[in-house]
Structure 1
Amino acid sequence: MDERRLSSAQISEFHEIGYTIVPGFFSKAETDKLYGAALEDEIMRKHALDLNDQSGKKTKLSLWYTPGDDIYGQMIRSERMVNSAACLLNSEAPVCHFHTKLMQKEPRVGGAWEWHQDYGYWYKNQFMFPDQMLSVMIALTAANKENGCLQVIKGSHKMGRVNHGFAGEQVGADMVMVDNALKTMELVYCELQPGDALFFHSNLLHRSEANLSDRPRWSIISVYVSQSNPAYNEETGSRRTPVAIVPDEALLETQGGASTGRDFLRKEEDKALEDTGWESGS
């Protein structure tokens, strides 16, 4: 099987346990090109958001909505990414792109991500169907226990959405339910090599530790949504527009560097960080 396509076993695994890992989803040459571009991208650095965890350590990310023609867009719009998402989303509607994040967890200073479900954030955007949303994490550097790799609770997507409140400047899940989930289901450390892909359901409980190692942990996370999934508190347009798919070869063939036209999220515009009043009851 082409390692850039999901097998029937991987599709079944995603639905059963809430995630699946695809080793070597992007080649070394592709991953090196993406990481090199990200390291040199001053525009990305300028638009990075700092989000404090509960200890005050900062997690840095840059988030944008519309996939363009630059190197990131070639990754987001690649046939392997979009077709894989289509296999996993619970819909026959076209696949759209909600947003992509460049996660920059620097050595010894990169903060933690508290336990949460992505749909705990996107519920505030008023997306209706969590089964029609998923995330794809592409590791740009090695991710392991030492540098704060993603931890997931296997099968926790079957719990449905749990209540979320604020944990530092992040949205965190109700820890009573998290503790119950940890008593019931397996905790898994998702260790990845550069180029590996982790596909995970919007209701999968996950977190990551601070990076206390001397090595960075960088990744790109793209979120795909079915066009049939309305969001009643989200103005951005890319989530309604079917992805314009490009061939897998486009990433290596493109000569474009960083784009100046990306529509970055600003912290004050993040719906998930708005206090609606019900968070204190989590």
Structure 2
Amino acid sequence: MKMTKSMETAFREDGYLMLESLFSEEEVSFILHQLPILMASETPHVVKEKNGQVRSIYGLHEINVIFEELVRVERLINIARSLLNSDVYIHQTKINIKQAFDGEWWEWHQDFPYWHLYDGMPVPRVLSVMIFLDEVTDFNGPLYVIPGTHELGMVDFEKKATVGIDGAPAYTSSLSANLEYTIERKVLSQWFRQRGIFAATGKPGTALVFHGNIFHASNCNLSPLDRRVLIITYNSIENTLTTVEKERPTFLSNRNFTPLLPVPDNFLRIGNTL
């Protein structure tokens, strides 16, 4: 896929970009075929809800050869390179799962503060590509974004006490429904009135590209339909992480800054025949 000037302009002005049919139904089906074994794994990569259901799987490119190649397909690398104006590497990969009726919310937040404060990422020259693995509707917990808020920098956080999951390190609160750095309500109210909210819905294979500093959140899944999305975070190789006192595990904060070399866009179709 080749980025157009109008696409680049829309991303720079709004902080997000919707791309319909970036992946085919066949490709999405092949990706979903990898999930059962990943969800059954009892490793720190797998984060669960309070009810025991899987909430997220992190570091997919570290533990699965299909995702190791998927993050490098040419259409994704072209998007990331065009919007970040440099070569890129993987900062983080994950699948977020909101199971029917039970999937919990993600509070209003920006991603970059976590990567800056936890991981030493210098500036928000970073973006994420969210690939819809199910149809995302108004009712199964779509991502909400407030357009233009990526230009505000890191905003004030709500003052709240958070703890790690089941006595784990404090950073694990950022993986749960009780996020540590959430946006102050007065800030949210101000920018909602000015810019409104966009709900990212679409068919499987749709992709949402969003800036590391845009305000975003998602509601609980109240529907009988699962909502599973793959999120790949690309960082500029000119924005590599600095040294921090306590590094997070590599499945949350990758410190291999080798520029990604693209693989052919037909990789998934080839792999599906193996």
Provide TM-score, normalisation by structure 2: 0.82
Partner residue, 2:196: 186
Pairs within 5 Å for 1:43-192: 46=43, 47-50=45-48, 60-64=55-59, 66=61, 70-89=65-84, 91-92=85-86, 94-124=87-117, 125-130=119-124, 132-165=125-158, 166=160, 169-171=178-180, 172-192=182-202
* Structure 1 Cα separation of the partners of residues 31 and 75 of structure 2: 16
- Give the superposition deviation at 1:83: 1.3
1 CA distance for matches of 2:60 and 2:105? 24
Structure 1 residues 150 and 59, CA gap change in structure 2 (3 angstroms):
farther
1:245 correspondence with 2:245: no
- Specify whether residues 239 and 154 from structure 1 end up closer, same or farther in structure 2 by C-alpha distance, changes over 3 A only: farther
Deviates more, 1:163-172 or 1:221-230: 163-172
Distance 1:228 1:147, change over 3 A: same
Taking a change above 3 Å as real, the CA distance of residues 169 and 58 of structure 1, as seen in their structure-2 partners, is: farther
* In structure 1, C-alpha distance between the alignment counterparts of 2:202 and 2:104, rounded to whole Å: 19
Cα distance, 1:41 vs structure 2? 3.2
Amino acid at match of 1:213: S
SS in structure 2 of the partner of residue 164 of structure 1: coil
The match for 2:173 is none
Q: Deviations over 1:55-101 (max 9, x none)?
A: x9977001117557722122211111111100111x43x21111101
1:139 and 1:195 in contact (8 A); partners too: yes
Alignment correspondent of 1:272: none
Bigger strand fraction: 1
Match of 1:39 among 28, 36, 39: 36
Q: How has the CA–CA distance of structure 1 residues 176 and 14 changed in structure 2, closer, same or farther, with 3 Å as cutoff? A: same
For residues 51 and 164 of structure 1, the distance between their equivalents in structure 2, rounded to whole angstroms, comes to 24
Whole-angstrom CA distance in 1 between matches of 2:48 and 2:135: 22
Structure 2: state its 5+ residue gaps. Answer: 163-176
Per-residue Cα deviation, 1:27-54 (whole angstroms, up to 9, x for no partner): 11101111122234355575421366xx
Query: For 1:75 and 1:196, how far apart are their aligned partners in 2?
Result: 15
Closer, same or farther: CA 42–69 of 1 in aligned 2, 3 Å = closer
Q: Which runs of 5+ in 1 are unaligned?
A: 258-282
Q: Is contact 2:107-2:179 (8 Å) kept?
A: yes
Deviation at 1:244, TM superposition (A): 3.2
Kindly tell me the number of residue pairs found equivalent between the two proteins.
248
Mark the CA change 1:58 to 1:209 in structure 2 (over 3 Å): closer, same or farther. farther
Whether the aligned pair in 2 keeps the contact of 1:51 and 1:60 (CA below 8 Å) is yes
Q: 2:47 is matched by which residue type in structure 1? A: L
Distance 1:83 1:116 in 2: 27
Distance 1:248 1:163, change over 3 A: same
Is contact 2:60–2:68 with CA below 8 Å preserved after alignment? no
Q: Distance in 2 between matches of 1:163 and 1:142?
A: 34
2:174 is aligned to none
Match of 1:217 in 2: 227
Instruction: Identify if the C-alpha distance between structure 1 residues 42 and 144 changes in structure 2 by more than 3 Å, giving closer, same or farther.
Output: closer
C-alpha separation between the residues in 2 aligned to 1:109 and 1:69?
A: 27
In the alignment, is the contact (CA less than 8 A) between 2:39 and 2:46 conserved in 1?
no
What percent identity do the matched residue pairs reach?
28
Cα pair 1:59 1:111 within 8 Å, conserved: no
Aligned equivalents of 1:254, 1:169: Cα separation in 2: 38
Contact 2:38 2:57 in 1 (8 A): no
SS at match of 2:144: strand
Describe the superposition over 1:135-170 as per-residue Cα deviations: whole angstroms up to 9, x where unpaired. 000000011111010011011111111133557531
